[in-house]
Amino acid sequence: MISPLTPQQLNAQPCLLLDWELVPYSQAWEIQQKLVQERRENPDLPDVLILVEHPPVYTLGQGAKLEFLKFDSETQPELHRVERGGEVTYHCPGQLVGYPILNLRRHQPDLHWYLRQLEEVLLGVLEVLGLKGSRVPGMTGVWVDGCKVGAIGIKVSRWITMHGFALNVCPDLAGFGQIVPCGIPDRPVGSLEQFIPGIGVDRVRSLVVAEFARVFAVEIVRSNV
């Protein structure tokens, strides 16, 4: 028997999905800024979810400390200081990154709620894959067996969100050795591949889309905009 739709599902707002493959960080960052500005000027525009992988790149949160870098920031790998909260992190192929551009007035104008919802998306994906994900009290992100597999860093202005989450599916984790990831020295970074050998990003993309739609009660509409 098919379960009836919930009131939230019946009234689901559209959310445009920009499903990219490998895109340079600076290009995706520029597009995020453009989408956010458009929604500040016209709050009626629909929400957007960008899914993407990046070539190797390090990013620093707005107030992040350079002491968490283990390389010379002037001469070594690509590094960007961006608007999000949090400390330094690393992106590379094999890591699925999600950038929700949401108007939280349509959902719940509460930053704590939003962070927990993003965690819930990742926890839902892990559950579908048969993994036991968990939160760590006082921290943001998602862990499996003590390894951090999902990181979150956001920026919200006038209740419009940008930046978002990164799920380590099958990345080369060596790049994380050049930093203190998220400023947490005593908790290792991990990947889904450690627990599900051979898993790839393509398998996880559709799960992230489905869980995002469920958690935020939106209707996903694929788009090239």
- The whole-angstrom separation of Cα 98 and Cα 75 is 28
CA distances from 136 to 27, 72, 76, 91, 186 (A): 32, 31, 32, 22, 13
Contacts of 225 (CB under 8 A, 6+ apart): 16, 18
- With beta carbons less than 8 A apart as the criterion, state whether 219 and 14 touch: yes
In this structure, how many other beta carbons lie within 10 angstroms of the beta carbon of residue 77?
15
Catalytic residue, candidates 15, 92, 170, 182 = 182
- The whole-angstrom separation of Cα 117 and Cα 167 is 15
- The whole-angstrom separation of Cα 46 and Cα 24 is 25
Phi, psi of 15 (to 5 degrees): -135, 120
Our answer to whether residue 15 is catalytic in this structure is no
- Active site positions, annotated: 182
